[in-house]
Structure 1
C-alpha cells in the first residue's frame, strides 16, 4: 500500500469526520451485540418453561415479550447508526475524490507542452476519472468496511471466549487459513488490476481519437476497419478483465466455505459440551452461531476490501506517476512584473526534445513596444517556434529571450501570458457558445465589446446569420464553423483581450484575400501601440509590418521592410512575385 500513502494527507484533512464515523460504527456494533445474549436467554426461558410443569405461563410470556422488544429495539438502533456511519464515511470519500480530481487537473494545467506530446489524451482522461474512482472506493467503502470488521472482531471474539473458550477456539480455527489465502490471492489481484487499468487507458485513448477524427474516418470510408480494431481491443480488454474476475471469484466461495466450517464446528463442539454438561443451555450454541453469522459478512468483505485496496493501489500508482512529473516551465518569480512589450532574442537556439529537430539556430532580433514584426519562411523554418518562446511555452536550448530587457525566465509567468493575445495556426474553439468563446480571454466583457471585437475580426455578419447568433453553441473544436470563421472568431478573442503583445500565427490562411485586407486594416489600427508578431506565408499579411524577417532552417536569411525586400533578390521577392501572379490570374 506504499502508493496509497499519498492519500494520507486527505485522511488528515477530514480526520474529524472520520473520527465521528468510527465512533458511530462502534455504537452501531455495540447495539448489534445486544441481540445474541437475549436470543440465548429466550431459548433458555423456553427450555425452562418446557421442562418445568409448574412454570408460570404469564411470567414466561412477559420474559419472552421483553426479550423480543429488546432485540427489535437494539436492531433498529443498530440499523440507524449504520445508516449514519455510511453517511459520514462515504461522504468523506466524495470529498477526497473532489480534492484529488482538482489536484490532478491543476497539475495537468501546470505541465508543459512536452508532457502532452508524450502522453495521450485518452490516458490522461482515464487517470482523472476511472483511476480516481478506484481510489475513492478505497477511501470510502473499503475504509468503512475495514473499521466495521475490526470493531466486530474486537467486540465479538472476546465475548465468544468469555462464553465458551473451547467452542470459540475451535470455531475460529479457519480464520488463519483464510488470512493466508487472502494474502496469496491479493498479490495476484494487484498485478492483474494494474494490467486492466492500463488497458482501460488504451481503450479510452482509441475511443477519444476515433471521435475526434470521425471526419477523416468517414471521408476515407474506413468505419468497418475501425470497428474491427475496436472489437479486437474490446476482446483483449474482456480477456484481461475476465482473468481478474476469475481470481476475484475465489474470494466469496472461500469465505462461505470457511464460515460454514466454523458454524459446523460450533454446533458439533457446542452439542458435545451441552451433552457433557459443560454449557448450561442450548441457547449458548445458538448465540455462538449468531456471533459466527455476524462475523460472516465482515470476514467475507475482507476479500472485497483486499481487492478494492489492490485496485486502488494500482490506480494511485498511475496517478502518482503524473503527479510526480515536474513541469519544465516553472514560475520563478511570484512578484508582479508588468509587461510593456519590448521583445529581444539574443543568440537563441532551440531543439525540440521529442523529435530532436533544431528549429532555431543562433537567432537574434529586437522589437520595440508598439512595433510590428512579420516573419516569413517555408514550412518548418521555425516561425511558430519564435511565438512559442515569446509566450514561454518552451524555454530556449541556448541564448536568451528578453521582454522589456528582462529574461522571460525571470518574469512572473502569469503576468507574461496575461499580457499576450495569441491566435494559433489551428484555431481551437471550445464546445460552448460563440459569445463565450470570444470572451475566453476577458470573461467580464460586455456583449457590446464582444460584438465590436467580432466586427473588427470581420465575423460579425456571419454570426448574425446564425439562428441563435452569438448564443450559437459550437460543436467540439468548433466543427460547426468553417475554417475561416474559426480563425476569425479566434482573432476576435485576441482583440477583445486587448493585450500588450499580439502573436498571430498564420491565422489568416483560411480567409479570402478581400476579407484578409479588411482584417489587416483593423489589426493595424488596434495594434498601433501594441507589440505585434505576425507569422504568415502571405506577403500581403507582412507588407505593412515595421520589419520583416525571412527564416530558412532556423536562420535569418533576409530582413528589412517590404519595399527593401522586394527590391532585393531573394526568397521574399520570389514569393511576392509568385503571389502577385496568382492574384492577377
Structure 2
C-alpha cells in the first residue's frame, strides 16, 4: 500500500518535473560521467602508488598529470550537476506552487473557514519545497546506487575476501541508518502538524497586532506563540538528536571497520593473497560500498519524507480531502437579476443555520434582510454568491439552478460589499483594478466619487498610487468599506449585495453612500443586510429573519403594522 502510494506521488510529481526535461537530460548525462570518473580515480591512484613502489618516475609523472586532469573534469561535472539540479528544482517548485495556489483559490470557502491559514501556507511554501528537493535527492541517490554497483563488482574481482568483509561491515552501517530513519519518521510527521499550527498563529499575530495591543492581550498571545515555537523547536531538536546519536555510532563503527580493513589487508598481504595496489584500490572503494548501502537507506528516507509532503499537497490539488467549488456549464453574459430560494436549508457542520427558506426577488428590486445577529442573513448572501453550497433545496438565478451556471456567469454578474472587506497590500489603483482589469482612471474615479472616497484619495501625496499596506492598514474602517464599495460599483454587476456595508460609517458619510445606493435603484437588483433599519425603509421589500427562517416580509410601513418583531427592531434602532 505504501509502495503504491509512493508510485502515485512520483507519477503526480513527474508531470511538473517534465517542464525541465532538457535540464533532466543534462543532469543525467553529467551524473553518468561523474560516476564513471569517480570509479576510475581510485584505479589511477593505485597505479601512481605502484609506480612509486617500482620507482618508475616517468610513468609516475604521467599518471599524476592524468589524475589531475580527470579530477578537474570531475569538478566541472559536479559544477554542472549542481547547475542542472538547481534548474530542475526551480522549475519544478514554480510549477507545483502555481498549481497549488490555483487550487487553494478553487476551494470552497467553508474549507478555508474550518482550517487555519497555517495549514495552507505551510503546504504552499514548505511542502512544495520538500517535494521538489526530495524528489531530486531521491534521483541522486538512485543514480549513485546504480552507477556504483560496478564498484562492488570490481572489489569482488580484485579480492573476494575483502569483498565479503566490505559487504558485512556495510550491512552494519546500513542497519544503523535504517534504525535512525524509523525513529525520525514519526517525529517528522508530528512536526508537520505542529509547524502548521505555529504558522497559523504567527499569521494571525501579525494581522491582528492592533487588536492585540488595544486588548492588552500580548501576554496571552505570546504565551500561545511561545508554546508553539517551543513545541516545533523541540521536535526539530529531537530529530537532530536522533541524527547526531546515530551519526556518532556510525562514525565509530566506520572507524573500526576501516581499522579492521587495514588489519585484514595486512593479513592477506602476508599470506600473498593481496597486492598493495589492489589493497589501495579496495581501501578507496570501500567507502563507496558503505555509501552504496547508505544510499538504499537514504532512498527509503526520502521515500517517506517525499510521501508525507506529497500527500499533503496533492490532497489539496486533487480534491481528495478538501472540497472544491462546483459549477455548471450554462453561460450567460448578463443575468436579468431575479433570485429565488426554493426550500433552501443550510447546515454548518451539525448546526442548522437556514431552515426550508423560500422567497422570490424580481430584477431591479431593492431588497433588505433584517434580524438579530446570527439569524442567518450573511449565510443567505453566501448562498446567493455561491460561496456556500445549499444542504438541500435550490437557489435559482433567472430561474436557473445556481449549480448549473458556470463560474464567470455567477461572479461577473454580482458583487458584494461586506462589513469587513479585505483590502490587499497593493496601491489604491491596483486594489480597484481587481474588479475590472481594463478600467480607465476616469472610470475608477467615477466609482470612487459615487463611493465618496475620491476626495480623500486625491488628498494623499501619491493619490491613486498610494500603497495601502496589509488589509488596508492605513485606512479607517469606513474608508476600507468605501474602497470596497467603489470596487463593487466598478464591476457594474446586475446584482449588488451590501452586507452591513455602511455599519462602520459616520452618519454624514452614510447619507452620502445611501444616495449612491439610491442612484442605483431601479437599474440593479440590490440586496442589503441592514444593521441600521433607517437605511432600508425605502426598500421594495424587507424580509425579517429569525432563527434561520423568514418570519415576515413586506414594506417598511406594512411591517410596522403587522410584525411586532420588526417593530421592536426598528424602535431599538431609533433609540440607538
Structure 1 and Structure 2 fold alike (TM over 0.5): yes
Report if aligned partners of 2:9, 2:311 keep a CA contact under 8 Å in 1.
Answer: no
Matched, 1:237 2:232: yes
CA distance 1:12–1:384, change in 2 (3 Å): closer
Report matched runs for 1:24-103 at 5 Å: 24-49=30-55, 60-103=56-99
Deviations 1:59-117 (A, max 9, x none): x3321111011101111112212222222234323322222222222221121122122
More off after superposition, 234-243 vs 398-407: 234-243
**Alignment correspondent of 1:211:** 206
Matched, 1:227 2:260: no
Report if aligned partners of 1:434, 1:474 keep a CA contact under 8 Å in 2.
Answer: yes
**Alignment correspondent of 1:508:** 502
**Alignment correspondent of 1:197:** 192
Report if aligned partners of 1:373, 1:545 keep a CA contact under 8 Å in 2.
Answer: yes
Deviation (angstroms), 1:214: 1.7
TM-score relative to the length of structure 2:
0.91
**CA distance in structure 2 between the partners assigned to 1:90 and 1:306 by the alignment:** 23
**CA distance in structure 1 between the partners assigned to 2:301 and 2:166 by the alignment:** 26
**Alignment correspondent of 1:472:** 466
Report if aligned partners of 2:85, 2:136 keep a CA contact under 8 Å in 1.
Answer: yes
**Alignment correspondent of 2:11:** 8
Match of 2:442 among 448, 472, 478: 448
Report if aligned partners of 1:203, 1:234 keep a CA contact under 8 Å in 2.
Answer: yes
**CA distance in structure 2 between the partners assigned to 1:81 and 1:233 by the alignment:** 44
More off after superposition, 267-276 vs 567-576: 567-576
Secondary structure of 1:325's aligned partner: coil
Deviation (angstroms), 1:482: 1.0
**Alignment correspondent of 2:128:** 132
**Alignment correspondent of 2:29:** 23
**Structure 1: where are the runs of 5+ without partners?**
50-59
More off after superposition, 540-549 vs 480-489: 540-549
**Alignment correspondent of 2:266:** 271
More off after superposition, 312-321 vs 97-106: 312-321
Report if aligned partners of 1:171, 1:265 keep a CA contact under 8 Å in 2.
Answer: no
Deviation (angstroms), 1:546: 2.4
Report matched runs for 1:89-488 at 5 Å: 89-152=85-148, 154-279=149-274, 281-295=275-289, 306-323=300-317, 324-327=320-323, 329-333=325-329, 335-354=330-349, 356-488=350-482
The root-mean-square deviation of aligned C-alpha atoms, in Å, is 2.5
**CA distance in structure 2 between the partners assigned to 1:511 and 1:231 by the alignment:** 38
**Structure 2: where are the runs of 5+ without partners?**
none
Report if aligned partners of 1:343, 1:401 keep a CA contact under 8 Å in 2.
Answer: no
Deviations 1:150-203 (A, max 9, x none): 312x12111111222222222222122233333333222111110111111121
Report if aligned partners of 1:91, 1:140 keep a CA contact under 8 Å in 2.
Answer: no
Aligned length: 568
Deviation (angstroms), 1:511: 1.4
**CA distance in structure 2 between the partners assigned to 1:310 and 1:246 by the alignment:** 19
CA distance 1:506–1:31, change in 2 (3 Å): same
Report if aligned partners of 1:435, 1:470 keep a CA contact under 8 Å in 2.
Answer: yes
TM-score relative to the length of structure 1:
0.90
**CA distance in structure 1 between the partners assigned to 2:168 and 2:461 by the alignment:** 76
**CA distance in structure 1 between the partners assigned to 2:552 and 2:393 by the alignment:** 21
Report if aligned partners of 2:171, 2:293 keep a CA contact under 8 Å in 1.
Answer: no
Report if aligned partners of 1:259, 1:292 keep a CA contact under 8 Å in 2.
Answer: no
**CA distance in structure 1 between the partners assigned to 2:547 and 2:293 by the alignment:** 69
CA distance 1:400–1:61, change in 2 (3 Å): same
More off after superposition, 458-467 vs 12-21: 12-21
Report if aligned partners of 1:421, 1:499 keep a CA contact under 8 Å in 2.
Answer: yes
